[in-house]
Amino acid sequence: MSYLVTIGLEVHCQVKTQTKMFCACRTSFGETPNTHTCPVCLGLPGALPVLNQAAIEKTLLSGLMLGCASPEISKWDRKSYFYPDMPKNYQTTQMDLPLCLGGGVPLYAHCYPTDARKHIAKPDKVVRLNRIHLEEDVAKSTHLGNSSLIDFNRAGTPLMEIVSEPDLESGEEAFAYLRSLQMILIQGGVSDADMEKGQLRCDVNISLRRKPEDPLGAKVELKNLNSISAIRRAIHFEIHRQGEDLNHGIAQVQSTRRWDDERGETQLMRTKEDAHDYRYFSCPDLLPVRTAPLLENVRPLVPELPHELALRFERDLGVTGYDAAVLSSDKHLAAFFEAACDPAIAGKKVANFIINNLLGTLNERALGIADCPVPPVQLRSLLLLVETGTLAASQAKEVFAILFDAPADDPAAIAAALGFKPAAAGALEALVEQVIADNPAEVELIRAGNVKLLNFLTGKVMKSATSKPNPKQVTDLLSERLLG
């Protein structure tokens, strides 16, 4: 029996700030455990929190990028529970007046898994958001069989919780949602959103029902999800598991399950508490925040979002939709592309070289675009040599390979050192005439319509030339001479 799948996501994203949410301890990753702590983030009695304005502003910036509204007053609450990685026995968070309300995340087509892009059910889908609230992260626990180690360096790091409405219907949509959201947050400089570093974590809520008019089924929450691909696999498993249970008359109960990636299955952790079990109440140590002045601070910082960049690249620079999607997917890549463009070069040619050559080389060297040694101005100079006919496209690739390791060198000088330079018109024409005279059979076939043989004659000319002229220049001369 088939079921309607309803999925909502709770994404926890560390905000990129220099200090923690309620104290002056420096945020860090991978440093010596328990070296960035103080009485506030250790939850010692009598320690008082102080708000981090940068974290609040970056959360409001996230809301502006995602089309959220903000209440006039936002306040702080205590959420009571005991976890070993939260020594205060409560978490300072937001309940009824969070910083951001509503909004939505567009699902970009290129953010779906590659094998699912041809079967996107709703190409322009936007997943509604319920809220974005700001809270403090917990410590990091490392479990060692019968014992656990706790590192409080992470405790107190500003953490946004981005809560979607239950608008997702598949693992593929959840995959696209997370990649699209990750892209937008990075674009705004809000977070590096690196799941491997724990900067982006996600809980998945799934329920099944038979008909649209039926109430939502019991919500099952999935935890311990450490990659976007693992989230997709976990959703597929859980949909199948719940469906099989329902087919056998086994009702689902609201619960929390963990994902075991090695075994490829979810396992029951506990039945799920409701909101009232957390005993929320207003934090007595923190004053509410007026959002209007802070919103005015960050409104000028709202960047072009990936879909806005892509549309502009298509409209103004003449690139294809696919190229625009790739180039707009990373703010550093988009900036590099724009800086490499020149009125004398078609935007499509610049895009092709970046996507097909530059990104491939970076991938081979395990580098990101932000670490690219070749500045955009150097790439522009190289492509201008192609545009003026000094270099063929294949020759430009050879020059680029050298330029990558010697980015300060002049591309024209590299080309000259390789022997790539236009031949004098008279000398080249003389070589063309000689090759035509030496290959009468091929000449007749070309004139009869076998134009592919032009490449054969081009090769003959290139071998005869003392320099390495542009093969296109040679082919054009042969074509003009033989085909008129």
DSSP string, 344-385: TS-HHHHHHHIIIIIHHHHHHTT--GGG-SS-HHHHHHHHHH
Q: Are residue 171 and residue 277 in the same domain, yes or no? A: yes
Domain count, the chain: 3
Q: Compute the distance between CA of residue 354 and CA of residue 380 in angstroms, rounded to an integer.
A: 11
Per-residue tokens: 295? 């919103």
Backbone angles phi, psi at 73, to 5 degrees: -120, 130
pTM of the complete model: 0.85
Among 388, 417, 446, residue at a domain's last position: 417
Per-residue tokens: 62? 């996230």
Please state the rounded mean pLDDT for residues 286-303: 97
pLDDT at residue 30 is higher than 90: no
Task: Report the pLDDT value the prediction gives residue 456, as an integer from 0 to 100.
Answer: 81
Residue-wise pLDDT for 394-434, tens only, equals 889 999 999 999 999 999 999 888 877 765 555 667 677 77
Confidence label for 115 from pLDDT (cuts 50, 70 and 90): very high
Residue-wise pLDDT for 203-221, tens only, equals 999 999 999 999 999 999 9
Q: What angle do CA 295, 300, 302 make, to 5 degrees?
A: 85
Residue given tokens 């946004």 in the structure block: 160
Average pLDDT, the chain: 91
Q: Are residue 389 and residue 435 in the same domain, yes or no? A: no
Task: Report the pLDDT value the prediction gives residue 433, as an integer from 0 to 100.
Answer: 74
DSSP-derived letter for residue 116 is G
Q: Are residue 374 and residue 259 in the same domain, yes or no? A: no
Task: Report the pLDDT value the prediction gives residue 309, as an integer from 0 to 100.
Answer: 95
> Minimal CA–CA distance to 94: which of 160, 16, 13?
160
Q: Are residue 386 and residue 404 in the same domain, yes or no? A: yes
Q: Compute the distance between CA of residue 442 and CA of residue 430 in angstroms, rounded to an integer.
A: 18
Q: Compute the distance between CA of residue 265 and CA of residue 244 in angstroms, rounded to an integer.
A: 14
Q: Are residue 277 and residue 202 in the same domain, yes or no? A: yes
Q: Are residue 283 and residue 354 in the same domain, yes or no? A: no
Task: Report the pLDDT value the prediction gives residue 62, as an integer from 0 to 100.
Answer: 98
Q: Which of 94-103, 393-402, 464-473 has the highest mean pLDDT?
A: 94-103
Q: Are residue 225 and residue 87 in the same domain, yes or no? A: yes
Please state the rounded mean pLDDT for residues 49-66: 98
Query: Please, which residues bridge with residue 14 across strands?
Result: 159
Task: Report the pLDDT value the prediction gives residue 424, as an integer from 0 to 100.
Answer: 58
Task: Report the pLDDT value the prediction gives residue 276, as an integer from 0 to 100.
Answer: 58
Per-residue tokens: 308? 């806005």
Task: Report the pLDDT value the prediction gives residue 86, as an integer from 0 to 100.
Answer: 84
Q: Are residue 48 and residue 179 in the same domain, yes or no? A: yes
Task: Report the pLDDT value the prediction gives residue 389, as an integer from 0 to 100.
Answer: 80
Q: Are residue 313 and residue 273 in the same domain, yes or no? A: no
Per-residue tokens: 290? 């007026």
Q: What is the CATH number of the domain that holds 445?
A: 1.10.10
Q: Are residue 205 and residue 229 in the same domain, yes or no? A: yes
Residue-wise pLDDT for 2-17, tens only, equals 899 999 999 999 999 9
Please state the rounded mean pLDDT for residues 155-163: 97
Task: Report the pLDDT value the prediction gives residue 271, as an integer from 0 to 100.
Answer: 80
Residues sharing a CB contact under 8 Å with residue 167, sequence separation 6 or more, in sequence order: 8, 125, 127, 128
Among 252, 278, 298, residue at a domain's last position: 298
Among 267, 298, 329, residue at a domain's last position: 298
Backbone angles phi, psi at 143, to 5 degrees: -95, 130
Task: Report the pLDDT value the prediction gives residue 426, as an integer from 0 to 100.
Answer: 59
Q: Are residue 173 and residue 34 in the same domain, yes or no? A: yes
Alpha helices in 267-319 (DSSP H): 291-298, 306-317
Domain hosting residue 461, numbered range: 425-483
Q: Are residue 397 and residue 432 in the same domain, yes or no? A: no
Where is pLDDT greater, at 436 or 45? Answer: 45
pLDDT at residue 250 is higher than 60: yes
Sign of CA dihedral 176, 181, 182, 187: positive
